[in-house]
């Protein structure tokens, strides 16, 4: 008798939305990023610590500008269908937390989950989405998002290549990592750019 592999042993489900933004909105995000190198600083882990062995990339502080709010709205509008396609129970998003990251030569992010567990938190990250963009022609390779299985004993995983103007969504509690990026020129403009979107749900009242 063969044993059916459990869904938990498979790489966590994910959804890729290609051509996520209209061309002009994609362009505006790329243009802003290229023009604001000074807004990027080494990425932190758990929003406080700098731990180079876990994560290597640059994170930008996002401005309070119309394009950021428009992007947040695009993601929020996509959430019901993404959640449904991922097999998640419907939920009312409280907010979408955004973070703009540039990965250059040798950068990576080791396996982690996006879920937060601090008792002080006011809401939970439930759905993670990553929006990818870069200059053309693409001048980096690698940087796949590797999604692991929910079952930690499983060694199955799926590598998803970052695609221009695509949004990749998965459950925030799915373990994932960013495979090392090769960007031979080392130029900031040639980076693997990504906007992390963490869709948060209010904690149930105690």
For CA atoms 184, 188, 194, 197, the dihedral sign is positive
Q: Which residues of 114-123 are buried (b: 16+ CB within 10 A; e: fewer)?
A: bbeeeeeeeb
Pick from 178, 183, 197, 199 the residue near ligand AKG by CB under 6 A. 178
What the block records as the tokens of 179 is: 């495979």
Sorted by sequence, the CB contacts under 8 Å of residue 74 that are 6+ apart come out as 20, 21, 25
C-alpha to C-alpha distance for 182 and 140, rounded to whole angstroms: 5
Between strands 40-42 and 93-103, the pairing is unpaired
Closest distance of CB 1 from ligand AKG, Å: 39
Quick check: 114 binds Fe ion (CB under 5 A)? yes
CA angle, 86 as apex, 83 and 92 as ends, to 5°? Answer: 15
Closest distance of CB 176 from ligand AKG, Å: 5
- How many residues sit close enough to ligand AKG to count as binding (CB under 6 A)? 8
C-alpha to C-alpha distance for 199 and 172, rounded to whole angstroms: 9
Can you tell me whether residue 139 is helix, strand or coil? coil
Quick check: 183 binds ligand AKG (CB under 6 A)? no
Quick check: 145 binds ligand AKG (CB under 6 A)? yes
E strand residue ranges, 8-57: 14-17, 40-42, 55-56
Quick check: 144 binds Fe ion (CB under 5 A)? no
- With CB under 5 A as the contact rule, which of the stretches 5-13, 78-86, 96-104, 113-121 interacts with Fe ion? 113-121
Nearer to ligand AKG (CB atom), residue 5 or residue 51: 51
Quick check: 176 binds ligand AKG (CB under 6 A)? yes
Nearer to ligand AKG (CB atom), residue 96 or residue 130: 130
Quick check: 171 binds ligand AKG (CB under 6 A)? no
Nearer to ligand AKG (CB atom), residue 83 or residue 130: 130
Binder of residue 194, out of ligand AKG, Fe ion, none (CB less than 5 to 8 A by kind): ligand AKG
What the block records as the tokens of 28 is: 């505006």
C-alpha to C-alpha distance for 44 and 26, rounded to whole angstroms: 26
C-alpha to C-alpha distance for 151 and 140, rounded to whole angstroms: 32
Quick check: 166 binds ligand AKG (CB under 6 A)? no
Pick from 20, 40, 109, 150 the residue near ligand AKG by CB under 6 A. 109
Quick check: 114 binds ligand AKG (CB under 6 A)? yes
Footprint on this chain of ligand AKG (rule: CB under 6 A): 109, 114, 130, 145, 176, 178, 194, 196
Footprint on this chain of Fe ion (rule: CB under 5 A): 114
């Amino acid at each position: 008798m063969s044993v059916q592999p459990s869904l938990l042993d498979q790489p966590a489900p994910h959804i890729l939305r290609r051509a996520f933004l209209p061309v002009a909105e994609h362009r505006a995000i790329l243009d802003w990023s290229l023009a604001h190198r000074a807004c990027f600083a080494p990425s932190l882990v758990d929003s406080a610590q700098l731990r180079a062995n876990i994560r290597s990339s640059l994170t930008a502080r996002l401005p309070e500008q119309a394009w950021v709010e428009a992007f947040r709205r695009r993601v929020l509008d996509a959430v019901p269908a993404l959640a449904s396609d991922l097999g998640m129970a419907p939920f009312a998003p409280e907010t979408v937390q955004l973070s703009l990251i540039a990965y250059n030569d040798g950068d990576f992010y080791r396996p982690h989950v996006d879920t937060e567990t601090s008792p002080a938190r006011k809401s939970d990250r439930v759905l993670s989405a990553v929006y990818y963009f870069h200059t053309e022609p693409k001048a980096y390779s690698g940087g796949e998002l590797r999604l692991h299985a929910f079952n930690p004993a499983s060694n199955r995983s799926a590598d998803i290549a970052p695609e221009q103007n695509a949004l990749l969504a998965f459950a925030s509690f799915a373990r994932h990592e960013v495979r090392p990026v090769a960007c031979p020129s080392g130029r900031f403009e040639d980076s693997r750019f990504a906007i992390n979107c963490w869709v948060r749900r209010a904690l149930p009242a105690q």
